[in-house]
Structure 1
Amino acid sequence: MKSNFTIFSLLPANLCTFFKKISKSKPRTSTFVLLMTILNLTLYHWPLLSFANKNLAILTLNGMQTLLTVFAVIYLVTALVLYPLFILSRRLGKAVCVIFAIGNSLATYFVVTYNVILDKTMMGNIFNTQYSESEQFLSLKLIAYFIVLGLIPAWLIIRTSIQKTSRVRLFLHLTITVIVASTWVWQSQSHWLWIDDHAKQLGGRIMPWSYVGNAARYQSDRAKQNIVQTLLPDATFRSNKKTVVVLVIGESARAENFSLYGYDRLTNPLLTASDVITLKKATSCATYTTASVKCILSHVNTSGVFSENFETLPSYLQRQGIDVIWRTKNWGEAPIKVSSYLTSGDLKKHCEGLECDYDGVLLTNLTEQIRASDKQKVFVVLHQTGSHGPSYYSKYPKEFEVFKPVCRSVELNNCTQKELINAYDNTILYNDHFLDNLRQILDGLSQTSSAYLYVSDHGESLGEGGIYLHGTPHTIAPDQQLKVPFFVWMSQSFIDQKHISVDKLKQREQSTQANIFHSVMGAFDMDSEIYNKDLDMFEAAANK
């Protein structure tokens, strides 16, 4: 990172000198558009250049031609947007340049700092991020990027006086630009194979079209969803025995750091000592919360794609007469209709103790609420904040800071790998405590058959390959973001009621988030047209 800050230290003076010369000369509109296009290429695309340097022999003739082809495409797209805007109005064109400068500064920061790819998936992640999470990213480095690459260029763009250029002349410049750039791109067809192979990585680093285009794509997909959810076929019940099932949706937990999955640190001491069942080779549907939660609560595997907007599991169970309780310290669920929806803020009013600021708040008076239900079947969802980054150190009480020293910066690449792993492992250790407390609550429900299922929405990257956090496109996402922990705990009465072979359940070869919906239906002895017994883990493990 040292070289980046050297560049930063020079940028303000260079930019000021550059724009003072432009301002004094009062450039024509055509010249200004040309300069803005070149400035966009040079000021905001060094992350792309860095990626190309790692994956392409850019010092060779073929490498240089390939890189020039990429820049020609960026130049062409930028020109195709800016020229028409300035043809319509100089003020409109300058306003858009100002917005792009500010947007590019923030986008460049996140690409450089966390090595994220600004594709449609990541834009969905951004649109669905709450303020309480986004404020965790605030740092001096972010402010520096915002000022140096955003506010200063924006201020200088505003101050620059532009001479009026005839619309005919601007259209002529646009035509020449299109012809020249298109000719270069067309005659460089032999270099497109490398570009095509790295399309996602390159596309996610092109400013501003990565976030502008993919934001539009995401919103377009959202608009295609049905406003009204399609109701699922009604169900019947094979029994009316008192049953409580809890679904715990974890956040950013990766199986790799759970000792139950072979991790060399004891991050699951309480779960290891209990009779929880660890499901092998569990995978997530997506790498970001909204798509993963949608998949977890769907009767079909959505795999993060906006498909038909079917009724979700909580809404479906509620409509079938089951008492549904949703408690959350997170966000990102699809619209749900349940009898009780409680946020961490609601629960905190009645919470006492050190865990009220953490996931432990979700267990506040849970026993009392379950016992107060007049229904024979109760379904509880606990949506955790879990191990969400970048401030892992803030996700657990002080007493769970067992692994030290820890990373206390949101600029994760400024921490050592050991500090980062330590902070993350402490969140897993706290989650172990949370799940054991839940087990004790369910175990204490007399004359009640009970079980809980725990699965994380997705995993997390902790600097492997230079990637941090999550949200990488599914097709190129590392295993750390896709392999998740998946646990099942059952009371003895639940095991007896369902005739479950614990050994069979332990021997499952693979599980996914798609198993949740049908396993919950099976746990409540439900029959319906949509019920798929092949996806019901309890049915598959039953002694027949």
Structure 2
Amino acid sequence: MKPNSLQISPNLLPPIIALYFLVVINLPIAQELFRILTGLEAVKIGFVISIPLFLFAAFQLIFQLLNWPKVAKPIIAFLLISSSMVSYAMLSYGVYVDYGMIENLFETNQEEAASYLSLRSIIWVGMMGFIPALLLFLTRLTKTTWRKFLLAKLAGILGSVLLAAVIAVLYYQDYVSVVRNSPHLKKMIIPTEYLISTTKYLNNTYLKSPVPYQQIGLDARLKPEAKDASKPTLLVFVLGETARVFNYAYYGYERDTNVHTRPYDPIFFADVQSCGTATAVSVPCMFSNMNRPEYSKSRAYNQDNVVDIMARAGIQALWREHDGGDKGVAHTIREKTLVPHDADHLCNQQKCYDTAMLEDFADDTTNLTQDSVLFYHISGSHGPTYYKRYPKAHRAFTPDCPRSDIENCTHEELVNSYDNTILFTDFFLAEAIRQLKALQDQYHVALLYISDHGESLGENGVYLHGMPYALAPKEQTQVPMLFWASPGFAGQKGLDLDCLRQRGSEDAFSHDNLFDSLLGLMDVATEAYSPSQDIFALCRE
């Protein structure tokens, strides 16, 4: 191909790119519209024909506004590549790349991000994004006068607006009806949704004036009964990742995914709702004093959370991290991140198994002289590389899915891999409880486990997590919670375990309860505490 053998008028670039986005990039919304329209009892042919015309007009308007000499090519090339990634994610996993997903993406670590790479995804983005971007750069834009360029641009903009206006007049009621019944459609339009969401995230995170930090629970102190205990209290708090309750044997699942903890007879909470559908939302939310409807990330990151208040009361805390960061929760306490290294038989240079976090358990629990909480943030069931979360010795359900492009595994293989992660997390919890039981002579010991959000495994074509909460399926929002306490812990706290077990099987809870439940369980007295939200309060003498 000779240099500059490809050439095009700069005024033709917007409609050509708009057509490409309509026909190729936006395959996910075309697929969804087909599903919706074929499900209607009656639909106007004219309305169906108008939809691609309306979208073309919208895309053409966008690219007319972006089409300026010297900047058009790099901007459009970026949109081609990034949009091909979004298109692949939506088609393959059924996710929406909205504000929540953008937030989760920016706060995902390198190992998690790499887990989404597969040969199929690389080929898709290469064919749909990089090759069109390369062709764009190889194409010479012919010269024209500014007058002709601006007149053609004005004509293109007015033509798009006029076409959209005519369609709106003719089929306004049809569009309103479809959008109201399927509000998720607007989240599927590429590139508008992810560009708007990214702009909002960058503005909120880096450009907005920071919210003044607010201290709460300044009056926090340990209750007298906690100070007078014969020995310190030690609570192990395990923050799970991507575990959904429906794959728990305790919930009624047909597989015994809780075989390891069953001998310890933990208390299981069957109806617990998450604060979000992604780690970046759920983790700071659950430790804050805000309930889900009122949750604000900027507030959560700029005010004390329950960990801060417990530390202020004199409770010693350590956070061990193995899932991409504490999301601002552990900013005032000691934190240790598990770093993979070949010397550890439970790790290599790329990853570790969660049980590697327990190797320092003895050091973390030696000579404690005050009430303590040991936090473990595990990688649990983080996808799509579920097979990397458990060793071969714990590969109980086969055949599993040893790949990241999980949509190319059978449903059986996918579920087997996911169930193996649930089973291995259960093994982790059992190991933690076993080591806690060995410390009963030194401390009053207990363990509390809760997951940050759930996971979709292909139900209705949806995979992974991160769906907008209002649209999220129950698989992404209903999470498991377990509690185990030694007789000494229960006695010192006046905790009726039978009462708590009944509450766990009958009552509904959520991440909203965690803030007050931790304060209550650790006997922290403060005006910030609300007993009505404390799960344990009604079961204490």
Q: Match for residue 236 of structure 1?
A: 221
Pairwise CA distance, 1:25: 7.8
Quick check: 2:414–2:457 contact (8 Å CA) kept in 1? Answer: yes
In 1: Cα distance, 2:72 partner to 2:530 partner: 56
In 2: Cα distance, 1:381 partner to 1:267 partner: 23
Q: 1:354 to 1:507 in 2, by over 3 A?
A: same
User: 1:111-510 counterparts in 2 under 5 A?
Assistant: 111-163=90-142, 164=144, 165-197=148-180, 199-222=182-205, 226-234=210-218, 235-238=220-223, 239-240=226-227, 241=229, 242-302=232-292, 305-306=296-297, 308-309=299-300, 310-335=303-328, 336-345=330-339, 357-374=352-369, 376-445=370-439, 446-508=441-503, 509-510=507-508
Q: 1:319 to 1:237 in 2, by over 3 A?
A: closer
In the alignment, structure 1 residue 57 sits paired with structure 2 residue 38 = yes
**C-alpha distance after superposition, 1:61-102 (max 9, x if no partner):** 83544445543443343333322332xx32211221111111
In 2: Cα distance, 1:381 partner to 1:533 partner: 23
In 1: Cα distance, 2:249 partner to 2:438 partner: 27
Secondary structure of residue in 2 paired with 1:389: coil
Q: 1:504 to 1:371 in 2, by over 3 A?
A: same
In the alignment, structure 1 residue 531 sits paired with structure 2 residue 512 = no
Quick check: 1:58–1:64 contact (8 Å CA) kept in 2? Answer: no
Pairwise CA distance, 1:264: 0.7
**C-alpha distance after superposition, 1:343-395 (max 9, x if no partner):** 0118x699565799200122122232222444x11111100100011111110
Secondary structure of residue in 2 paired with 1:269: coil
In 1: Cα distance, 2:312 partner to 2:45 partner: 62
Quick check: 1:407–1:420 contact (8 Å CA) kept in 2? Answer: yes
In the alignment, structure 1 residue 542 sits paired with structure 2 residue 532 = no
Q: 1:353 to 1:215 in 2, by over 3 A?
A: closer
In 2: Cα distance, 1:416 partner to 1:233 partner: 51
In 1: Cα distance, 2:44 partner to 2:379 partner: 44
Secondary structure of residue in 1 paired with 2:188: coil
Secondary structure of residue in 2 paired with 1:315: helix
**C-alpha distance after superposition, 1:193-248 (max 9, x if no partner):** 34323554322321111211122233344455845531112212212131112211
Quick check: 1:518–1:536 contact (8 Å CA) kept in 2? Answer: yes
Structure 1 residues not aligned, in runs of 5+: 1-15
**C-alpha distance after superposition, 1:380-435 (max 9, x if no partner):** 11001000111111101111001111111212121111111111111111111100
In 1: Cα distance, 2:234 partner to 2:292 partner: 27
Q: 1:414 to 1:225 in 2, by over 3 A?
A: farther
Q: 1:408 to 1:112 in 2, by over 3 A?
A: same
Q: 1:58 to 1:494 in 2, by over 3 A?
A: closer
Q: 1:323 to 1:90 in 2, by over 3 A?
A: same
In 2: Cα distance, 1:60 partner to 1:95 partner: 45
**C-alpha distance after superposition, 1:236-276 (max 9, x if no partner):** 22121311122111001011111011111011012222121
Question: How many pairs are equivalent?
Answer: 519
Pairwise CA distance, 1:44: 0.9
Amino acid at match of 1:126: L
Q: 1:262 to 1:182 in 2, by over 3 A?
A: same
In 2: Cα distance, 1:339 partner to 1:152 partner: 49
Moved more, 462-471 or 93-102: 93-102
Give the 4+ runs in structure 1 shifted more than 6 A: 58-61
Quick check: 2:58–2:164 contact (8 Å CA) kept in 1? Answer: no
Pairwise CA distance, 1:486: 0.5
In 2: Cα distance, 1:250 partner to 1:200 partner: 31
Q: 1:491 to 1:64 in 2, by over 3 A?
A: farther
Quick check: 1:250–1:383 contact (8 Å CA) kept in 2? Answer: yes
Secondary structure of residue in 2 paired with 1:386: coil
In 1: Cα distance, 2:160 partner to 2:49 partner: 15
Identity of aligned residues (%): 29
Pairwise CA distance, 1:471: 0.6
Q: Match for residue 79 of structure 1?
A: 60
Amino acid at match of 1:173: G
